[in-house]
A and B are shown apart, each in its own frame.
Chain A
Amino acid sequence: MAETILEAVDLKKHFRSGGGLGRPVRTVRAVDGVSLQVRRGETFAIVGESGCGKSTLARLLMRLLDPTAGDAVFEGRSIAALKGRELRALRREMQFVFQDPFSSLNPRMTVGKLIGEPLEVHAPELSAAERRAKVAELLGRVGLRPEHAGRYPHEFSGGQRQRIGIARALATGPRVLIGDEPVSALDVSVQAQVINRLHDLKSEFDLTLVIIAHDLAVIRHMSDRVAVMYLGQIVELGTADQVFETPRHPYTRALLSAVPEPVHGRSRERIALKGETPSPSNPPAGCRFHTRCPFARPDCATRAPVLREIAGGQSAACHYSEEITAEHGEKVHPEPPPRSAGAERRFALYAEAIADRQA
């Protein structure tokens, strides 16, 4: 098994909110006791719905935020207390790709300047000519052309901008790339281009990827292992195959069953969740999911489950995981029926033609 490169140890981040105009101060428990290990060379995904704490967790993992409690460990070293020169060195090793390629690039900087800026900070020994050469090389790696260096972000489409963001993140030669919804703002065909490109870059640059996303199909496609979050905690953790084929937490089951598949005539049993996610400033007692869980039993309201191993390498935080699986079956998404024979042939022709064109 590959070694751990990045680790969260009982990480917590609580924000204070309110308190103005005589209102009470509330504590928002955005991340509330998360432990996980990311292995060198893998793509690790964190998935969950709005407000589950996944973006906060990503920022804690690379010290863009200071934890309230717990620790983040990079290559065996605690990063919670790093300062100054050491923190800058960490920034070189870990880079962030943001969701919105329209607001994350300074509109007044040329693409060459945007990608060269991290080099100025982290590799001041490079001459201007060396830096330009490096920028041109990075542009090529992400599928843009060297002459694009003289243009401004507004001259590019969303997908191209996201490539610029990726080139900028790669400039310092990081070992870990953390992407917060890196493809969710893109159109379907462009999203597929960026997903393929990230996959190639990962092996070319020997990267470890941490991907935060809400799109389950994208997560399944991109990642090796997956953590599912609900209200600041991990409720399920396992390989992508395990989590998507045989989910062990009722929340994962409900999430998967809510995703509409692009297949006609699929009538499957959807696990409808009642109501909305409770506020992270006042999470329910016991199991945090019990207020919406269709399988909840009386003691779920009082006993908080811990994340426990259910099958080799797959854990879930649910008292009744085994019973629920036994009663409702393992699979949420059965294999879809094949398309018409002609259509299958057309898809094969298309895939061949695209592969030829790219070769």
Chain B
Amino acid sequence: MTEAKPQSLVEVSDLSFGFKGQGVDLVDGVSLTLNRNETLCIVGESGCGKSVTALSLMGLLPPDATRITSGSITFEGEAIPADDFRRLAKLRGDRMAMIFQEPMTSLNPAFRIGDQLTEAVQAHRGCGKAEARNRALLALEQVGIPAAQQRLDEYPHQLSGGMRQRVMIAMALVNDPAVLIADEPTTALDVTVQAQILDLIASLQDRSGMGTIMITHDLGVVAQVATTVAVMYAGRIVEIGTAQEIFDDPQHPYTIGLMSSVPRLTGPRTRLSTVPGLVPTPDRMPPGCRFSSRCPFARPVCATQPPLDPVAGGHRVACHFAPLETRLEAG
């Protein structure tokens, strides 16, 4: 059997939700596709909705406080309404796994590494303790932890930050998930350790063909790992395309502002062009384009919401003035 084209693992369509008591949807009309053996990066700053989008896929939003407006998630061909928290919870840790930013707070400090790993296996596999421990050991070896047998009996505080993140990855992968969701997996790590962890995720992905959704604010990490990039601002996707399209031909003023704000290791050291102001709070969301309150090109038409329209191929952007250099200069 040969696979002619990439098979979609996850399809999110028109996902919108907010929290009860808030008028606007925190995440508004998000649609995403993740294919096998690909990495989808969701990039944006604090409050853009990237982490809650991931939590919603994992069924980790608090059901009592969440108001799902619309959306469905197709997971390996199975359509699941976005508000079916129980079905999503069933997939979590099994077919879908997640790693978080802070490995110290996501591991339980009171339990041995081995116990935490075997718990993850037994919860989904219903196998015996010995077999679960065997799988745990294999998982630790897979993520390159030296003396894995001995580590099983250690506590999280006995490991360095990089090693803890490897344990988190081992725990996520112990049940061979089809999808790995990584929320800022290297933000708390030093650059040389970050490089090791990104290499590790890439090699595990190559081996198993899993798809990865990586959530990050670090454009350097995105450029290194992404197949597809979705740029989010204030709960909406403002631009989406292949990594090449986003980095070589960015279109949305926010994408351009974000890239202009990042200091670089090469080139002239000129004053950074920033994105002025702050992300609007949910109760002060501007009508229409949510970026309009900070956009240096905003015009009256921006009070209506721009659709996420194609500029070329699969590259889409939500801006009335794309491409800027022709639309703006034409008046």
Residues of A within 8 A of B (CB): 49-50, 157-159, 187-193, 195-196, 199, 214-218, 220-222, 240, 244, 254-256, 258-266, 270, 272-273, 276, 333-336, 339-340, 342-343, 345-347, 349-351, 353-358
Contacts and interface: CB of A to CB of B under 8 A. Distances in A.
A258 B199 CA distance: 11
A152 B192 CA distance: 39
B296 A262 contact: no
Nearest to A357: B296
Given A261-B265, A354-B296, 20 more contacts: A49-B193, A50-B161, A157-B278, A189-B45, A189-B258, A192-B261, A214-B190, A214-B191, A220-B263, A221-B263, A221-B264, A255-B192, A259-B191, A260-B194, A262-B222, A333-B265, A346-B250, A349-B297, A350-B260, A350-B324
A187 B223 contact: no
Interface of B: 45-46, 160-163, 190-196, 198-199, 217-224, 243-244, 246-251, 253, 256-267, 269, 271-276, 278, 296-297, 323-325, 328
Most chain A beta carbons < 10 A, residue from B163, B247, B258:
B247
A189 B257 contact: yes
B226 to A, nearest CB: 9
A265 B162 CA distance: 26
Given A349-B328, A350-B260, A351-B260, A264 B223 contact: yes
A278 to B, nearest CB: 11
Contact of A189 (B194, B224, B243, B261): B261
Contacts, number: 174
Contacts of B256: 346-347, 350
Contact of A255 (B191, B251, B259, B275): B191
Nearest to A259: B191
B191 A272 contact: no
Contact of B224 (A222, A260, A346, A354): A260
B41 to A, nearest CB: 12
Given A220-B269, A276-B160, A354-B274, A188 B323 contact: no
A217 B261 CA distance: 11
A188 B262 contact: yes
A25 B243 CA distance: 52
A265 B262 CA distance: 18
Nearest to B243: A264
A347 B323 CA distance: 12
A260 B43 CA distance: 15
A195 B45 CA distance: 17
29 contacts: A157-B278, A187-B217, A188-B217, A188-B219, A189-B257, A192-B272, A193-B274, A199-B271, A217-B262, A217-B263, A218-B263, A220-B263, A220-B269, A254-B192, A258-B194, A258-B195, A259-B220, A262-B223, A264-B243, A264-B247, A272-B195, A276-B163, A333-B266, A335-B267, A340-B248, A343-B250, A347-B273, A351-B273, A353-B297
